[in-house]
Chain A
Amino acid sequence: MKSTTLSFLVRVPSAAWVVLLLMFIFTTVSGRYLTVGNIVNIIDQNSMLLIVALGATLVLLSEGIDLSSGSVLSLSGVTCVYVMKYLMLSGTSNTIAMFAGVLVGLLTGVVMGAITGALIAISKLPPFIATLGMMGVAGALSLVAANSSAIYINNPVFVFFGSKLDRYIDWPLMGYVSVPTFIAAIVFVAVWIVLYYTSFGRYIIAIGGNESGARLSGVDIIRWKWAIYVMSGLLASLGGIILAARIEAADSIVGVGWEFDAIAAAILGGTSFVKGKGGIAGTVLGVLVIGVARNGLNVIGMPTLWVPALTGTIVILAIVFEVMLSRWKERKRWVRQGLR
């Protein structure tokens, strides 16, 4: 009996415990914390982070890292809004301008991802150096394109990406679902299918688990590794476009630090950078840890300046907890097997 309780406790991912602990603390501190509105708000606010973090998870699964995703997010938002605004000023209809802008934004992500991927897969640069360099390049490009500030956009069609679903569908409960959440859910399902039901997904895990083994069994490492970074760039740009639609502006530095949140969410979710372990389900929990921490600190009235430092500290501590716990689980497994 005791051992089953214990094994249940152990089987629940550590990030879930952290989320529960944080929510417990915030609920005791503030009565305004645990409301339906606030929970919906947390999910809504972190939908973009989930999209970016899914890309980061794929990269981490392949034993890489993508430090450029935050800058790519800024850059795609800027190019998207830039093109949209240009087309609208030259008299194109709102809808066409929206489609063109979104397309250009996504294309930006794909191109940046393709360059990063080529540097890593073909030229065999260490991922963190290649993506760190691309972080500088993409960040600078978005500053140049937006003239070091923000571009405001007033396109009623584009606002779709940042609004609640009840504006478009007249069903009950739709006021609780925002378009970003909806898109994030679709992206989650799509990435799930790609990761677990396609050969690309198998190759990602194979490359992360044992790269030379994968190569020897005929996996085209260069092509698939390249594809992983294209994917990450694409997801980052999608996050950037949604963010731009929400705030109706493209800020050239809006993505600063997003890559850290995305990577941290993936690690918190149990994705390990050493053996291709983990998966995208945990990433949702990881995003929740960050989202709950940040939202809770704001709701309980922590001064805004404290929030980034405290959120970062909570995240680092949660990562340490996750790593320690998974190591403890591993040791326990060994002990059990040894006893048998």
Chain B
Amino acid sequence: MGAARLTLKSFAPDSDRSWRGGAARLLVLLLLCAFVAIVTRNPDRGFIFLNANNLLNVIRNASILIIIAVGQTITLTAKDVDLSCGSVISLTSVVAAVMMNRMGIYFPFAIATALLLGIALGLINGLLITYVSLPPFIATYGTLWVVFGFAYLILRGAVVYGFPTGFRFIGNGTAFGIPMPIVVSAIVFAISYFVLYHTTLGRRLFATGANAEAAKMSGIRETRIVIIAYVISGFLAALAGIVLIAYTNGSEAVVGATYLLPVIAVVVMGGTSLTGGQGSLTGTLVAAIIMAVINNCMNILAIPAVWQQLAVGLMVVGTVLIDRWAGKRG
């Protein structure tokens, strides 16, 4: 027992260093904000970016990114990427939307179904990775296309919009003056932080990612841990989908497709290692806000969507390159 404890402890993340990395990223974020504020300065309307409404908007967009990216951080900590997150957002939000609007089902049931569906999709990913032993990026890339195919099948390219008021509260309402997406993402972040850094499950996630063989030797059922990680990711993607459509008040099959690349960029930028065993939730948090700021800047400057996509693609490659060159992680 004692020996197992010791092994687990040796895998435990140095939360102090994680905070320091977060602080460095915070500095980057502040500099970026200053830069964006100056770049987007309008002679008539002044610093548009620093407008309270705009800042709130940035945080709100970031919070949806945070919810997905937290899931991605957890799968990367335990094993590898989850490329299917975008499609999971699409399918779960489409299912919830159809249940509420076309079938007239009371919205909490629609939400519950969507979340369960997210869990089921995560389970399928986890089973494909552990029991069929497909490499994670191939398994999740496969589910990406299949799940998107079903999302497309359900809505046939149509858009469903106009949800019940109760449902819209999740995306539109405020609790104690704070917009709900921010509240939801804060809760998700707090719980995930606690689980990842202060519970046995978190230790096991880190241990499995760092060295699956050693983790197995020290009595961790690593297949189960990997499955749990992908289930969490599926659940969080579904949650993000619900918050997203509650905010935008509309759902379509391609709603999640644009999230894959930014989420990968965010997680890598946040300092989570792509080889497993190192996940930094604080880094992910700050990186998600950085990403939202960059998006907001491009929107204010009215840069066309395709150029934004190009920028995100370059950012994925660029952040990994910088990560490699900085040589912080092997």
Contacts and interface: CB of A to CB of B under 8 A. Distances in A.
Interface residues of B, number: 40
A165 interface: no
B321 A128 contact: no
Contacts of A309: 146, 149-150, 152-153
Contacts of B142: 260, 264, 312, 315-316, 319
B274 A129 contact: yes
Given A125-B317, A143-B306, A323-B132, A132 B138 contact: no
Interface stretch (A38-46, A77-85, A100-108, A133-141): A133-141
A148 interface: yes
A140 B309 contact: yes
Contacts of B245: none
Given A137-B310, A316-B142, A308 B149 contact: yes
B145 A136 contact: no
Nearest to B151: A309
Contact of A144 (B141, B310, B320): B310
B274 A136 contact: no
Contacts of B313: 133-140
Interface string A25-46: 0000000000000000000000
Contact of B317 (A133, A274, A308): A133
B138 A267 contact: yes
A221 B243 CA distance: 47
A129 B320 contact: yes
Contacts of B143: 316
A306 B268 CA distance: 36
Nearest to B314: A137
B321 A123 contact: yes
Interface in B177-197: none
Contacts of A274: 135
Interface in A272-330: 273-274, 305-306, 308-313, 315-316, 319-320, 323-324
A177 to B, nearest CB: 31
> At the interface, is chain B mostly helix, strand, loop or mixed?
helix
B141 A263 contact: yes
Contacts of A316: 128, 142-143, 146
Contacts, number: 115
B312 interface: yes
Contacts of A124: 324
> At the interface, is chain A mostly helix, strand, loop or mixed?
helix
Interface in B58-105: 81, 83
A140 B310 contact: yes
A144 B133 contact: no
B156 A144 contact: no
A225 to B, nearest CB: 15
- Name the residue among B260, B268, B309 with the largest chain A CB count within 10 angstroms: B309
A305 B268 contact: no
Nearest to A314: B146
Contact of A128 (B81, B144, B145, B261): B81
Contacts of A305: 152-153, 156
A65 B324 CA distance: 19
Interface in B278-330: 306-307, 309-310, 312-317, 320-321, 324-325
Given A132-B261, A144-B307, A273-B138, 20 more contacts: A119-B321, A123-B324, A128-B83, A128-B137, A132-B83, A132-B260, A133-B314, A136-B261, A136-B310, A136-B316, A139-B309, A140-B313, A260-B142, A260-B145, A263-B138, A264-B142, A305-B153, A309-B146, A312-B146, A323-B132
6 contacts: A119-B321, A126-B274, A133-B316, A134-B313, A137-B314, A309-B149
Interface of B: 81, 83, 128, 132-135, 137-138, 141-146, 149-150, 152-153, 156, 260-261, 264, 268, 274-275, 306-307, 309-310, 312-317, 320-321, 324-325
Interface of A: 65, 67, 119, 123-126, 128-130, 132-141, 143-144, 148, 257, 260, 263-264, 267, 273-274, 305-306, 308-313, 315-316, 319-320, 323-324
